[in-house]
Every structure is written in structure tokens, then in C-alpha cells.
């Protein structure tokens, strides 16, 4: 469930175009072509400019004379004599980047998180088995089979924590009323799930 915190160097590499960083250190000015622009490598002896070994690409650089791959952070750290994280912070400051607020990070994290639908399905089946000792046999017979499959069919609509809870409690109610004989029709039971449909549809 927990994702590693994004490193500031990754953020700088993502946010700052390599061409921009190359301009700051006087390595390159202008648009980078997709196939790369040739320039002399400032970090090694690459033939004195007759056969420049450094390539500036839109999102990275490469020195064919041995220095290898350059991210924005590496280019700036080496050029400015800073640690990678210091170079990353300075680069982000220059482009006016602001760290996301706690609220923005939270919103992003909850938007990305997917509920564990398999666990929800299991929880419902365990519940049924607990309510009805005959569940094992009954679950493949009507109206239980239809009701259960209607419940599981709603799972793709479940997205938030609140919806997980709502889904499970509504489905438990439905299965319980069927299994205990309070409701006898699978169709009725499924209709009583309609409150959940409405919430699910709100997401478009």
C-alpha cells in the first residue's frame, strides 16, 4: 500500500527539461532535436571539438567519450559542484516549482489507490458462510447465486474507502435477508442494492 517517497532528484529530472539545464551551464542553447544535438563534452577530452561527443536530447544528455548518461540533476551537480539533491533543489527553484502541499499529496494518493476488490469479495463470502452453515451448497443455487453475482458485479463501481464500507454493508444486508428468509426473492434483494448504484454512478 505504501509507495516510496518521491526523491527530489527524480522530481527535478521530470520537471526541468534537459535543454533548459544545458542552457544554464552554457552547454547548449536552442531546441533539442529528437535525435540529439552534438556539442563538446565539458567534462572530458572528447577530441577538442572536431568530433564532439556530447549529445543533448530533450530529456537527457549522453557523452560518447566515456562520461555516459546525464540526467538534469547529474549535469547540474557536476557543473555546479553540488550534491545531487542540492542541484535538484536549485533547479526546481529556478523554474519556480513548488512542493505539493500536504492536501495535494493526500488527494493524489487517494486518487491513485485502488481498493482491494478481491478482499471485499472474500469478506462477503466469509460473511455468508458465517450466517448460513449451508452456504457452501447454497451459493450455487437460486436465488443465492444471482444475488451473490449481482453483489460482485457492483465491485468495479467501488472506488473509495467509504464505498468499500457501503458496498460490504449493503451486500451483507442483502445476502443476510436472503439467507435468513427475510426476503425470498433474489430480484428484491438486488433492488435493495439500488442505493449503491446511485453512488457508483456519480463517478461517471
What are the φ/ψ torsions at residue 141 (nearest 5 degrees)? -110, 160
Could you say which of 8, 28, 32, 43 contacts Zn ion (CB under 5 A)?
Answer: 43
Number of residues that bind Zn ion (CB under 5 A): 6
Q: Which is nearer to Zn ion, 22 or 171 (CB)?
A: 22
Round to whole Å and give the CA distance between 129 and 136: 7
By CB under 5 A, is residue 44 in contact with Zn ion? yes
Q: Which parts of 118-177 interact with Zn ion (CB under 5 A)?
A: none
By CB under 5 A, is residue 56 in contact with Zn ion? no
Q: Which stretch binds Zn ion (CB under 5 A): 21-29, 44-52, 172-180, 190-198?
A: 44-52
Q: Which is nearer to Zn ion, 54 or 144 (CB)?
A: 54
Q: Which is nearer to Zn ion, 75 or 174 (CB)?
A: 75
Q: Which stretch binds Zn ion (CB under 5 A): 12-20, 31-39, 40-48, 124-132?
A: 40-48
**List of residues contacting Zn ion (CB under 5 A):** 41, 43-44, 63, 65, 67
Amino acid at each position: 500500500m505504501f509507495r516510496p517517497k518521491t526523491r527530489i532528484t527524480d522530481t527535478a529530472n521530470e520537471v526541468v527539461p534537459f535543454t533548459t539545464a544545458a542552457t544554464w551551464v552554457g552547454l547548449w542553447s536552442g531546441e533539442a532535436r529528437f535525435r540529439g544535438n552534438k556539442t563538446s563534452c565539458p567534462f572530458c577530452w572528447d577530441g577538442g571539438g572536431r568530433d564532439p561527443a556530447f549529445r543533448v536530447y530533450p530529456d537527457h544528455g549522453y557523452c560518447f567519450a566515456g562520461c555516459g548518461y546525464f540526467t538534469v540533476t547529474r549535469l547540474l551537480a557536476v557543473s555546479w559542484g553540488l550534491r545531487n539533491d542540492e542541484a535538484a533543489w536549485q533547479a526546481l527553484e529556478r523554474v519556480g516549482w513548488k512542493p505539493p502541499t500536504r492536501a495535494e499529496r493526500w488527494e493524489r494518493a487517494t486518487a491513485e489507490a485502488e481498493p482491494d476488490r478481491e478482499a471485499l469479495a472474500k469478506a462477503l463470502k466469509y460473511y455468508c458462510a458465517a450466517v448460513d452453515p449451508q452456504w457452501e451448497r447454497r451459493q450455487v443455487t437460486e436465488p443465492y447465486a444471482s444475488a451473490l453475482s449481482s453483489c460482485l458485479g457492483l465491485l468495479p463501481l467501488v472506488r473509495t474507502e467509504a464505498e468499500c464500507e457501503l458496498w460490504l454493508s449493503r451486500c451483507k444486508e442483502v445476502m443476510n435477508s436472503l439467507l435468513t428468509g427475510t426476503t425470498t426473492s433474489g430480484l428484491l434483494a438486488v433492488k435493495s442494492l439500488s442505493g449503491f448504484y446511485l453512488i457508483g454512478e456519480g463517478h461517471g
